[in-house]
Amino acid sequence: MRTIDTAHIRRLDMTLLIVFDALIASGNMSAVARDLGLTQSAVSHAVGRLRQIFGDPLFVRRGAGVAPTPRALELAEPIRDALAAVRRAVRIGQGFDPATSTRRFTISALDSLIAQVGAELLATLTTLAPSSRLVFRTLGRADAEAGVRDGEIDVAIGSFSPAAGRQTLLYPERFLVAARRANPLIGETLDLDRYCALGHVLVSPAADSVGAVDPVLQRLGRSRRIVAVMPQFMPAFAAVAGSDAIITAPSRVCCKLASFMDLRVMAPPLEVPGFDLTILTSPQAADDPAIAWLTGRLQAILMRPAPAYVGKTVAEPAAAAG
């Protein structure tokens, strides 16, 4: 392996490292040039200098983009960490002034949470941070965690693995079942046999075919019939409102959308483990006052008591408030 000495390190500059990090993330030189405000020839020149310094091609052509070599993949994490350290150093002694900030905040969340925070957060930015911008993305759990880790996502809202990053607890959540009020397949109660026999709509941005309910059913020697997988809650609940399918979803989502769509809300006929809804940020964001400011605003909106469901439920009318 080629030795990198001080002379080689002196040839590096921040632009080269930023280009490298961006190419690892996107694999497209044109997109990197556009995002960084560089010409495509400048990006190509930067890659050429990196190849000379590290003694490796680093990126090879693949289709319309480029793919990293094994050497580039080895370098990716150390370079990302080095850039994060430099960013933290630059922020030392600097506060965050919303009134003058031009920060673009990227937030990953499911559509139900975006609907919950979007209007108020936009109003807050309009008043307090008029030159800032919000970008919302809906990603699956693994992609959201990777986006936060890689710096592409500032904040993710959802349920994440314990090792994903710094997490701020919002509230514990549980699951309820929603069905259209005129569904002829459901009587006064919903037992396990009927639950398994009905068609189910599953919400999964990553197009997974297994939800929180399925492992529980499997342990009971049962299964359910998933008739549709949708990436967002609004179309999923609309589909349930217009069919005889049902949906098992977080309680706050069920109660909120049931009020709009005249749905029945009921407890599932089995014990489905709940989850903690959290705000996920990267460890590198611990010293970023802008992320702390954004997280505080999100907490203020999301931690308010949930409104009670005003419709009739099949079971547990008091518990349906979520």
Q: 83 in a domain, yes or no?
A: yes
Closest by CA to 136, choosing from 147, 126, 149, is 147
Q: Are residues 317 and 211 in the same domain?
A: yes
Res 317: pLDDT: 36
**Which of 66, 91, 116 is the endpoint of a domain?**
91
CB neighbours of residue 38 within 10 Å: 19
Token code pair at residue 76: 């990716």
Within 129-205, residue ranges assigned H as helices are 141-150, 192-197
Token code pair at residue 43: 């990006």
Spatial contact of 156 and 228, defined as CB atoms under 8 Å apart: no
Q: 210 in a domain, yes or no?
A: yes
Q: 297 in a domain, yes or no?
A: yes
Number of domains forming the structure of the chain:
3
Q: Are residues 80 and 50 in the same domain?
A: yes
Q: Are residues 151 and 218 in the same domain?
A: no
Q: 12 in a domain, yes or no?
A: yes
Q: Are residues 29 and 68 in the same domain?
A: yes
Burial class (CB in 10 A: 0-12, 13-18, 19+), 227: middle
Res 95: pLDDT: 67
Residues of the chain predicted below pLDDT 70: 1-11, 87-95, 306-322
Q: 244 in a domain, yes or no?
A: yes
Res 81: pLDDT: 81
Q: Are residues 294 and 312 in the same domain?
A: no
C-alpha span between 245 and 226 (Å, rounded): 9
* DSSP assigned state of 306: P
Q: 57 in a domain, yes or no?
A: yes
Q: 225 in a domain, yes or no?
A: yes
Q: 238 in a domain, yes or no?
A: yes
Res 160: pLDDT: 94
**Which of 57, 91, 125 is the endpoint of a domain?**
91
Indicate which CATH number applies to the domain containing 179.
3.40.190.10
Q: pTM for the whole thing? A: 0.69
Domain that holds residue 120: 104-163+283-302
Res 321: pLDDT: 34
- Cα–Cα separations (whole angstroms), residue 128 to 117, 124, 287, 295: 16, 6, 21, 15
Res 322: pLDDT: 35
Closest by CA to 201, choosing from 238, 176, 232, 227, is 227
Q: Are residues 237 and 120 in the same domain?
A: no
